[in-house]
Amino acid sequence: MKKVPNRLFLPMIYFLLIFLFIFLLKEFEIKKLILISSGKDIKGLNVFNRRNLLFLDTEKISKMLLEQNKDIRTVKITKKFPHSIIIIPTARIPKALIIYKNLNYLIDEDGILLPKDNKSTTELPIIETVIVPYSSNNITDWRINKALSYLAYGLKSGIIIEKIIIDNQNDDYFISTKDGEKVIVPQINDSGYVIASLQIIISRFRIEGKFIKSIDYRVEKPIVLLKDEGKISSQ
């Protein structure tokens, strides 16, 4: 049996490798995008055009899609061989309506400003402010982020907050609950501590059959003003 000369063997190997590479490029070329979303359009999907599943960096593309779609919080990209990509985005959910002068903004729990949607504003709590909600590089003001934390802690504790007014002149928050309590809190106070304290105070007076009109946290011991009794009590 004759041996294949080396000068012929190597070109054959190169040819097979090239053929295999071309085959893989064609065989695993992306031909179908499966978008699992409730009517949510995503910008930048043309990035998948003429791409190959084998060489696709899903993490890198996920980050790119998130940068182009600020109203999406997460996006999961799954390869489905041989030709498909499954895309599952998770939309950001508005948590509050920010009122700044005559402008309204939607904002999510991460402090990201979202496109306005009139359908989303009806039941949202309001954050009213005289400060610009975000800086030139789109970073949300810390006072607004802290107001969002009051909303989040309130929900966990069963205290539904309807409105927060940011008083920048005196560095206070004026908080209105769904049950009618008015709460004044310095901006430097810890929101988690305040909500926990608020829950204790409200529960204690309700057990006694009394209802709170306002609580003032601007002093060392919160001052409680009761409804109908016109008297001030302290914690």
174 vs 5: which has the higher pLDDT? 174
Residue 164 token pair? 């927060």
Instruction: Please name which of 184, 191, 192, 195 lies closest in space to residue 219, comparing C-alpha atoms.
Output: 184
In a domain, 1, yes or no: no
Is the domain of 17 the same as that of 101? no
Return mean pLDDT, the chain: 86
Is the domain of 83 the same as that of 100? no
Name the band, by pLDDT with cuts 50, 70 and 90, for residue 143: very high
Highest mean pLDDT among 6-10, 46-50, 115-119, 168-172: 168-172
Q: Are 121 and 164 in contact (CB under 8 A)?
A: no
Question: Domain boundary residue among 45, 60, 91?
Answer: 91
Name the band, by pLDDT with cuts 50, 70 and 90, for residue 78: very high
Asked, as a colleague might, if the bond just before 82 is cis with ω within 30 of 0, I would say yes
Is the domain of 99 the same as that of 85? no
Is the domain of 56 the same as that of 28? yes
- Which residues share a beta bridge with 78? 86
Q: Is the pLDDT of residue 196 over 60?
A: yes
CATH number at residue 146: 3.40.50.11690
Q: Is the dihedral of CA 67, 68, 72, 76 positive or negative?
A: negative
In a domain, 211, yes or no: yes
Return the pLDDT at 121: 66
Q: How do residues 9-26 score in pLDDT, each as one tens digit? A: 666 666 666 655 665 556
Is the domain of 187 the same as that of 74? no
In a domain, 165, yes or no: yes
Is the domain of 147 the same as that of 225? yes
Q: What is the pTM of this model?
A: 0.78
Question: Domain boundary residue among 91, 122, 148?
Answer: 91
Is the domain of 228 the same as that of 144? yes
Highest mean pLDDT among 104-108, 186-190, 219-223: 186-190
Range of the domain at 105: 94-234
Is the domain of 104 the same as that of 211? yes
Task: Give the dihedral of Cα atoms 212, 218, 222, 226; nearest 10 deg.
Answer: -20
Question: Domain boundary residue among 76, 91, 106?
Answer: 91
| Number of independent structural domains in the chain | 2
CATH number at residue 81: 3.10.20.310
Is the domain of 111 the same as that of 202? yes
Is the domain of 25 the same as that of 86? yes
Is the domain of 214 the same as that of 99? yes
Is the domain of 121 the same as that of 225? yes
